[in-house]
Structure 1
Amino acid sequence: MTSPSAPPARPASKTAADHSARAALLRAANINPRTGLATDYLNHFNEAVMLLEMIPDMPECVEDFLTWKPLSYAEHFTASNFKARDLAIEAYNRADTGTRTDFDNITSAITSILSAVSDAMRKVQLDTTRTRLAQQATGWVKPLVMRAGGVINGEATNGNGAADVEYIMTH
């Protein structure tokens, strides 16, 4: 009687070929194969920033900004026309936990700022106050969007959003 044996190990070349094919698939879909994240999600925040930047010159744009609603990564892609939206969501779910946590912390901060500014703008009526709120929010959000883009593009962080030089040098 023979004992059941483990399934044969996959040859290293097959694993490397699978990894290479997946990376090519992700790259073709504009998803960073190293991080599993897509910059398309940042368009969601860039839209809000663009509206905020227009408020000082066109105060009526406040109404457009007030219709902006926060969306999670998956909600954004589910609602989008992004051709590889299912792949984007799946890649996000498979992304390194530390990278995804850094990314989620940054985008959560962006969402909190934009939501708070939206709430404040609903309470005030003066265009000058709304302009000031829009300018302050833009100053806070734009650097965070850039940091989120850095995480998407593989600029390693040390868990608090700061670059981790050791990680960068070894990967």
Structure 2
Amino acid sequence: MTATPVQPDSEADRRYRELSARAAGSNVNETSLLATDYLNHINEVIMLLEIVPDAPECLDDCKAWQPLDYAEHFKNSGIADKELAIEAYPFSPPQFKEPFDRLVREMNRLVEISIKRLELVLAEGNEDQARHVAARASQNLQDLIGQASAVIHGDEHVVDQAQIDALMDL
């Protein structure tokens, strides 16, 4: 019986272990190498969307909101571990990074759809529909944030694309 040769660790494996060790006790999860602070960016627009039915002028603030990618968010962040978050992101294992990135894209898409829908119903003067759209957008975005948070904390089980698509039906 011949022994299977041991494969040397790849550079990516070595960097993952190094970054994981550095992440211990920080705002960056040591398993996923992602940080929940990124989700604050989405929470900002959720708060704005919730205000729109009572203060339609806040729709302009919603329209001014721009999605930020992960590194952009942390470059502008005040958290102590922002450099680690930026450095670790490319080394997040695919079972975390891929669903996280997909959820972020879907949250951004839902924000865009919601703003357009709110603009339309407000132009029609339909306050009840504006409340409905804002409430659904807020709830659906919060659901997606919950999924993204679970991924950040190392949960590999997230909703599938069909479930996400169903959230887009405002």
Misfit runs of 4+, over 4 Å: none
Aligned counterpart, 2:60: 63
Match of 1:101 among 98, 110, 122: 98
**Residue matched to 1:150:** 150
Q: Give, as a single letter, the amino acid of the residue that structure 1 aligns with 2:110.
A: I
Any conservation in 1 of the 2:103–2:148 contact (CA below 8 Å)?
yes
How well do the aligned residues superpose, as a CA RMSD in angstroms?
Answer: 2.7
Q: In structure 1, how many angstroms separate the alpha carbons of the residues matched to 2:126 and 2:21?
A: 49
- 2:28 maps to a residue whose letter is I
Aligned to 1:74: 71
Aligned equivalents of 1:23, 1:100: Cα separation in 2? 14
5+ residue gaps, structure 1:
1-8, 10-14, 162-171
Deviation track 1:88-137 (CA, whole Å, cap 9, x = no partner) reads 02211101012100111111111101012223334452361433321221
* Corresponding residue SS for 2:27: coil
Shift of 1:80: 2.1
Q: Figure out how many residues of one structure are paired with residues of the other and give that number.
A: 146
CA distance in structure 2 between the aligned counterparts of 1:27 and 1:62, rounded to whole angstroms? 40
Contact residue 52 and residue 65 of structure 1 kept, 8 A? yes
Alignment of 1:39-58 (within 5 A): 39-58=36-55
Point out the more displaced range, 82-91 or 117-126.
Answer: 117-126
- Partners of 1:22 and 1:77 in 2: how far apart? 17
Find the aligned partners of 2:118 and 2:159 in 1 and give their Cα distance.
33
Which residue of structure 2 aligns with residue 166 of structure 1?
Answer: none
When normalised by structure 1's length, the TM-score is 0.72
Structure index of larger Rg: 1
Give the gaps of 5 or more residues in structure 2.
1-7, 9-13, 162-170
- The 8 Å contact of residues 98 and 159 in structure 1, kept in 2 or not, is answered as no
* 1:31–1:37 Cα contact (<8 Å) kept: yes
Partner of 2:107: 110
Matching of residues 120-159 of structure 1 within 5 Å: 120-123=117-120, 124-125=122-123, 126=125, 128=127, 129-157=129-157
Q: Deviations over 1:28-82 (max 9, x none)?
A: 4300001000000000111111112222333332222222111111121122223
Q: Contact conserved, 2:32 with 2:153, CA < 8 A, in 1?
A: yes
Amino acid at match of 2:146: M
Aligned to 2:4: none
CA distances 1:134-162 after superposition (whole Å, capped 9, x unpaired): 1221122110110000000111227948x
Using the alignment, how far apart are the partners of 2:52 and 2:119 within structure 1? 14
